[in-house]
Homo-oligomer: A and B are copies of this chain.
Amino acid sequence: MSTTASIKDVANHAQVAVGTVSNVLNYPDRVSQRTKERVLKSIAELGFVRNDAARQLRAGQSRTIGLIVLDVGNPFFSSVARAAEDAATALGSVVLVGDSGQDASREAHYMDLFQEQRVQGLLISPVGDVGQRIDTLRERGVPTVLVDELADTERCSSVSVDDQEGGYLAAKHLLDIGRRRLAFVGTPSIRQVASRLKGAQRAVAEVSGASIEVLDSEGQTVLTGRKVGNSLVERSPEKRPEAVFCSNDLLALGVMQSLTMLRTVRIPEDIALIGYDDIDFAISAVVPLSSIRQPTEALGRTAIELLAEEHDNGGTKHRAVVFTPELVVRQSTAGSGS
Contact = CB atoms under 8 A, between A and B. Distances in A.
Contacts of A217: none
A62 interface: yes
Interface stretch (A36-44, A45-53, A167-175, A187-195): A45-53
Count the copies.
2
Given A51-B57, A72-B81, A284-B222, A141 B253 contact: no
Contact of A254 (B56, B94, B260, B284): B284
Contacts of A234: none
Given A4-B140, A141-B2, A52 B99 contact: no
A141 B3 contact: yes
A50 B140 contact: no
Given A99-B82, A118-B52, A281 B281 contact: yes
A249 B52 CA distance: 42
Interface residues of A, number: 50
A90 interface: no
Contact of A57 (B53, B112, B139): B53
A72 B62 contact: no
Contacts of A136: 47
B47 A140 contact: yes
A26 B14 CA distance: 39
Contact of A116 (B49, B73, B286): B49
Nearest to A226: B284
Given A73-B82, A284-B254, A97 B97 contact: yes
Contacts of A19: none
Contacts of A257: 284-286
A54 B51 contact: no
Contacts of A260: 286
A51 B284 contact: no
A35 interface: no
Interface in A22-81: 47, 49-54, 56-57, 60, 62, 72-73, 75, 78-79, 81
A153 to B, nearest CB: 20
A211 interface: no
A16 interface: no
A232 interface: no
Contacts of A47: 136, 140
A115 interface: yes
A286 B68 CA distance: 35
Interface in A95-120: 96-97, 99, 112-113, 115-118
A242 interface: no
Interface string A216-240: 0000011100100000000000000
10 contacts: A3-B141, A47-B136, A49-B116, A52-B116, A53-B53, A53-B62, A72-B72, A72-B82, A73-B79, A73-B82
Given A47-B136, A96-B96, 17 more contacts: A2-B141, A4-B141, A47-B140, A49-B112, A49-B116, A51-B116, A52-B53, A52-B116, A53-B54, A53-B56, A53-B57, A53-B117, A72-B78, A72-B82, A73-B75, A222-B284, A257-B284
